[in-house]
Amino acid sequence: MKLGIQMRKFVAAAILALVAVPAAAVLRVDINSGIAAPMPIAVPAFATPAPAPTAAGSTGDLGRQVAAVIAADLGSSGLFKPLDPAAFTTNVGYGDVTKPNFGAWRTLAAQALVTGAVSVNPDGNITVACYAYDVFTSEELARQGFVTSAAGWRRAAHKCADLVYSRLTGETGYFDTRIVYVSETGPRTKRIKRLALMDQDGANHRFLTNGQNLVLTPRFAPDDQTITYMSYADNRPRVWLYTLGSGVQTALRPASGDFPSMTFAPRFMPGGGSMVFSMSAGGNTDVYRIDLGSRKVTRLTSAPGIDTAPSPSPDGSKIVFESDRGGTQQLYVMNADGSGQQRISFGEGRYGTPVWSPRGDTIAFTKIGGGQFRIGIMKTDGSGERLLTSSWQDEGPTWAPNGRVIMFFRTAQSGGATALWTVDLSGQNERKLKTPLDASDPAWSPLLP
Amino acid sequence: MLNRSMLNRPKLKTTVQLTLVAALIGVGACSTKKKDLPPPPPPASEPVVPPTATTPTKVPPPAGVQSTNIPGSTADFVAQAGSDTVYFGYDSYELDDPSRTILGKQAEWLARYPNITVTIEGHTDDRGTREYNLALGDRRANAAKNFLAAQGVDATRITTISYGKERPAVDGSGEDVWAKNRRAVTILVGAKG
C-alpha cells in the first residue's frame, strides 16, 4: 500500500520511477541478468558529529574518503552506477544521515542512497555508521556500525559497501577482501617475481618477498593469515608457507624429513588443516595431500602422466584437478581420498587450472584452443560450459569469495606484459586492476571477518 | 699447443704451474730493476727511417691469437657435444634424432670426465598453463637424463630442475621463438670455465 501511495505521489515528478519501481516491488539488483542497466546509487560524503582529528586525518576528510571507497567498490561490480558527487545538490549533514532529503536524490534519479557518519571514540578508534535507503520509497534498507582503528578506515568502508551490495543483490559481498599475487618486472628471459599483497581495490599494496627467488602460484589459507606458494629458493623448487603475521617463511616438509623432488601447485583444503599439491618424480607428476599437523603425506593419484592443479570443493569432499592421462590436459574430479576419479571436460581443446567455486556448483578453468587461452566455467559434472573471456592468453582464475566474480591474469601477445583482470559470471564487466608492476597468479582471500 | 693428455697428468700440470709462477716472479723482478736503468734504446732490428714518398712504411698485421677450449670446460663440452641444449616439439618430451645425437655426444664427453656432475634444466614455451608447464619441463629434463643414463652416465651424477615457462631463452611470440624455448639444457657442475 505504502509503495502505491509513493508511486502516485512521484509519478509526475520522476518519469524514471515508472521504469524503475514497477519492475520489482522491492529495490533489488538482479545479479543473474547481467548488467544491462546498473542501478544508479548516490554515496554522498559521510558526515561527522563533530570534526575531530584522527591518526588517519580529520573525520571530515575520512567521511569523504569513506564515501569514495564505497562508491568505487559498488561501481567496480558493474551492478551499480555511482552518481558523480559533483552533481549532488545537497550535503548530508550529521542530522540528515538518518533523515535524508529523498526528494533531492530523486531529482538526480538515484535509486539507492548510502549515507553515514564517521566519529572518533574515546579510545581513539573510529566508528563508521552506514545506512542504505531506497530513494523512491524513502525506506531504510540496512544500517550497521563498524568500529576500527583510524588506519583501518578503508576496511570499514569496504564493510559498508558489502552491506549495501548484500542488501541489494541478495548475495554476500566481496569488497572487504585481499589479493595475493605475483608482481613481475624485468625482461622475460630474466623475469624478477615477488609475492605481493593488496586490498581487493589495489590499496595497501605491499611486497612480501624481495625478488631474489623466483616465486609462483600463491594461495590463501582459509583463515587469511597464511599463504602457500612455490619458491625456487636454494634452487630447490618446492612449496613454501608464509605466515603473514610474523613474516616467517618455511618450506613445506613431510614428517619423513623432506620431499625427494619438486613440489608445486599448493592449495589449502577447507578448514586449513591440510593441503593438496603436486610432486614430480622422474617425469611423472601426481597429486598428494599433506596433513599440516602430523605432516603425514597421502598420494591421491597414481596414473602415469601429469596430474596437477588440484582444487577442493568448498565442503572438502571432492577435488577437481587436471590430468593429461587421456592424451591432453583435461579436468577430472575425484573424492578427497583419491577414489572415484572421473573426467568431466569433453569439449574441444585443452582444460587446465580448475578452481572450484566457493558456492560449490561451478568450476572455473583455463581453456586452451583456437590459438587462445580463455577463462571459462562449467558445472561440476562438466555440463553447461561457458567461456567468459576471449584473449591471447587469459589464465589462472580465482574466485571472489561470493562466487560472483573471477579474477585472472592476462598476458599480452606483443611484449608479454601481464596484468590482473576481473570478469563477472555473465562474462561482462571486464576490468583491469591497477598494480605497481606487471602482475600474474592472483588469489582472492576469503571475506575478512 | 696444449695437449689434452698432458693437462690431465697432475705432475706435468704442477710443473706448468711452477714455471708460470717463476715467470711471474721474473717479470716482477724486471720491473723493479727498470727503475734504476736509463730508457731502453730503440730496437736495433728496426732502423728508424722517416717515411718518404718513395719508401712507404710497411706494417704487418699483429700476430694472430685464438682462444682455445680448455678440455673439461663448459666450452669444450659444448664444442664436443655440438650443443648443451636439445629441443622439443609442442607439448612433447620426445627426443628426436638430432637430440639423441647431441645427448649421445654429451654422454661420451661425460664419460671422459667422471668427476663432473650435471644439472639438466627443463623448459617450455609460454603457450601452456603455469603448473602444467612445470610438470612438462620436469618431463623434458627427465627424458634427457634417462637418455644420458642409458648411455652409461651414472644417474647419481645427474640432477634435474624444471623451470616450466619461467626462463625462456628467447623473448617474444610465434613458433620460431617457442621452438627455441622448448628445451633441455645440460649444465656442468664442478667444471671450470
Residue among A262, A318, A269, A308 nearest A290 (CA): A269
Helices (H), A58-183: 59-76, 102-107, 153-169
**B104 residue type, one letter:** G
- Residue A185 phi/psi, 5-degree rounding, is -155, 160
In a domain, residue B47? The reply is no
Residues of A with CB under 8 A from a CB of B: 187-191, 193, 214, 216-217, 235, 237, 261-262, 264-265, 278, 280, 282-283, 285, 306, 308-309, 322, 324, 328-329, 352-353, 366, 368, 373, 393, 395-396, 411, 413-414, 416, 441
Same domain, B151 and B103: yes
- Per-residue DSSP letter, A185: E
Same domain membership, residue B87 and residue B27: no
| Count of structural domains, chain B | 2
Pick B131's closest partner by Cβ from A190, A265, A324.
A265
Q: Are residues B129 and B182 in the same domain?
A: yes
**Domain-embedded: residue B134:** yes
Residues of A in contact with B172 (CB under 8 A): 416
Cell numbers found for residue A267: 592449495
Concatenated DSSP letters of A351-407: EEEEEE-TTSSEEEEEEEETTEEEEEEEETTS-S-EE---SS-EEEEEE-TTSSEEE
Calpha distance A337→A301 (Å, rounded):
9
Which residue reads 640432477 in cell numbers? B159
Q: Is residue B65 part of a domain?
A: no
Asked whether residue B145 is assigned to any structural domain, the reply reads yes
* Cα–Cα distance measured from residue B89 to residue B143, given in angstroms and rounded to the nearest whole number: 13
- Is residue B166 classed as helix, strand or coil in its secondary structure? coil
Question: Which of A188, A261, A308 has its CB closest to that of B131?
Answer: A308
d(CA A365, CA A353): 5
Which residue type is seen at A442? P
Task: Judge whether B42 lies within some domain.
Answer: no
Mutation target to probe the A interface, by most A beta carbons within 10 A, among B131, B139, B145, B148 is B131
Cell numbers found for residue A145 = 556500525
- CATH 3.40.50.10070 maps onto chain A at 2-169
Contact: B131, A329; criterion CB under 8 Å: no
Q: What CA–CA distance (Å, rounded) separates A220 from A264? A: 15
Tens-binned pLDDT, residue by residue, of chain A (449 aa)? 333 333 333 333 333 333 333 444 577 887 766 556 899 999 999 999 999 999 999 999 999 999 999 999 999 999 999 999 999 988 899 999 999 999 999 999 999 999 999 999 999 999 999 999 999 999 999 999 999 999 999 999 999 999 999 999 999 999 999 999 999 999 999 999 999 999 999 999 999 999 999 999 999 999 999 999 999 999 999 999 999 999 999 999 999 899 999 999 999 999 999 999 999 998 999 999 999 999 999 999 999 999 999 999 999 999 999 999 999 999 999 999 999 999 999 989 999 999 999 999 999 999 999 999 999 999 999 999 999 999 999 999 999 999 999 999 999 998 899 999 999 999 999 999 999 999 999 999 999 99
Position B56 in a domain: no
> B22: domain range?
4-34
Q: How many CB pairs under 8 A join A and B?
A: 93
A2-169 CATH, one of 3.40.800.20, 3.40.50.10070, 3.40.50.300, 3.30.530.20: 3.40.50.10070
Examine the domain organization and report whether B91 and B22 are in the same domain.
Answer: no
The CA distance from A386 to the nearest CA of chain B, in Å, is 19
Rounded CA-CA distance A143/A181 in Å is 34
Is B51 within a domain?
no
Cβ density class A399-432: b for 16+ within 10 Å, e for less: bbbbbbbbbbbbbeeeebebbbbbbbbbbebbbe
Closest CB from A189, A217, A285 relative to B130: A217
Q: Residue A280: which of B127, B130, B135 has the nearest Cβ? A: B135
CATH class assigned to A178-444: mainly beta
Q: In CATH, what number is assigned to the domain containing residue B183?
A: 3.30.1330.60
Structural Rg of chain B based on CA atoms: 26
Residue B132 contacts A where some CB pair is shorter than 8 Å: yes
Tally of CB atoms within 10 A around A351: 28
Longest dimension (CA), chain A: 78
Shortest Cα distance, chain B CAs vs residue A333, angstroms: 17
What chain B residue is nearest to A215 in terms of C-alpha separation?
B166
Question: A359-369 burial by CB neighbour count: b if 16+ within 10 A, else e?
Answer: eeebbbbbbbe
CATH 2.120.10.30 maps onto chain A at: 178-444
Q: Are the Cβ atoms of A306 and B132 closer than 8 angstroms?
A: yes
ipTM of the complex: 0.91
Q: Where are the beta strands (DSSP E) in A135-222?
A: 139-148, 178-185, 192-199, 206-207, 215-220
Residue at B53 is within a domain? no
Residues B90 and B173 in one domain: yes
